[in-house]
Amino acid sequence: MANKRVLITGAAGFLGSHLCDRFIKEGYDVVGMDNLITGDLRNIEHLFKLKEFEFYHHDVSKFVHVSGPIDYILHFASPASPIDYLKIPIQTLKVGSLGTHNLLGFARVKKARILVASTSEVYGDPTVHPQTEEYWGNVNPIGPRGVYDEAKRFQEAITMAYHTYHGLETRIIRIFNTYGPRMRLNDGRVLPAFIGQALRGEDLTVFGDGSQTRSFCYVDDLVEGIYRLLKSDYVYPVNIGNPAEITIAQFGEEIIKLTGTKQKLIYKALPQDDPKQRKPDISRAQEILNWEPKINREEGLKLTYEYFKSLPQEDLYRTAHRFD
């Protein structure tokens, strides 16, 4: 019998590339798709030699076509850091809205099940803590994060509409802050920012007074949650993240300890609409998927630091985008 075939968009990105690895390991044929604006082919270079893997250099905001059967679609194409939203706001809006629409239409044609990557950003700067899936959020539509947050909220709406109106098999995951190897070193997110600064011998830039919180999930745990959700029959959004909450200032101290840098924390202005606190309530994932994170921050950060140290020196000084 032929292998099941999965289309993964954003395949050359941080999460997409880990998903490609996982599905290859599970015995699938994987079709990766990416426009390489923020993705990096180095993340999937090792897969090109496999007959189970093929790659399309394509922007999913334009009409999507792949010949042959497709059983599953994982839509993970999107810029995903506040710096990206500022630099490529229109592409961010398009991939979450037009891109999702194209892929939902494509899923209908292929009679495929589709899982879309949503985000804790749908909760905005949350007034409910920790965030449950029932919470509707507190989003500024015209702020700097609006292009991402609103595209993802639209993505959830259109995905549910395809489910209820067309009977499409859909899954929605709300991803909380995730880290691990293959994050872009200069994407502006706090973990690569701090580790990059430590490796370059610079002070670590904490935005605001550092009292805002985040809860960081190691990528392997996230991928396991995605895999389980895809295989489940649950169509409503599911939070996947690690509830271990920490302030950004404490996180900076952890990175100083991890890297042994002699540098210190320095404080910069807090960006507009930066959420003050974020922590997933994962009861639904525990109940429905029997899932919870297994890798704690100490272990996960060590693995991630090893990866960043192994990168070529020039990566430390690379700009954030190919078009910079």
Q: Does 193 bind ligand UDP (CB under 6 A)?
A: yes
In 3-state terms the chain splits into helix, strand, coil percentages (rounded to 5) of 40, 20, 40
Distance of CA 132 to the CA centre of its chain: 19
Cβ-count burial of 144 within 10 angstroms (0-12 exposed, 13-18 middle, 19+ buried)?
middle
Write the interaction track for ligand UDP spanning residues 228-267; mark x where CB under 6 A is met and - where it is not. Answer: --------------------x-------------------
Q: How wide is the angle at C-alpha 190 spanned by C-alphas 184 and 191, nearest 5°? A: 65
Q: Does 214 bind ligand UDP (CB under 6 A)?
A: yes
Among 95, 199, 206, 219, binds ligand UDP (CB under 6 A): 206
Neighbours of 3 (CB within 10 A): 14
162 counts as catalytic: no
**Three-class DSSP category at 224:** helix
Q: What are phi and psi of 32, to 5 degrees?
A: -95, 145
Q: Does 274 bind ligand UDP (CB under 6 A)?
A: yes
Q: What are phi and psi of 286, to 5 degrees?
A: -65, -45
Taking the least distance from each CB to ligand UDP, the nearer of 105 and 188 is: 188
Q: Does 81 bind ligand UDP (CB under 6 A)?
A: yes
Least Å distance, CB 310 to ligand UDP, is 22
Spatial distance between the Cα atoms of 72 and 6, rounded to a whole number of angstroms: 5
Site for ligand UDP in 14-73 (CB under 6 A): none
Among 91, 100, 118, 177, binds ligand UDP (CB under 6 A): 177
Least Å distance, CB 193 to ligand UDP, is 3
Residue type, 45: E
Q: Which residues bind ligand UDP (CB under 6 A)?
A: 81-82, 177, 188-190, 193, 205-207, 212, 214, 248, 271, 274
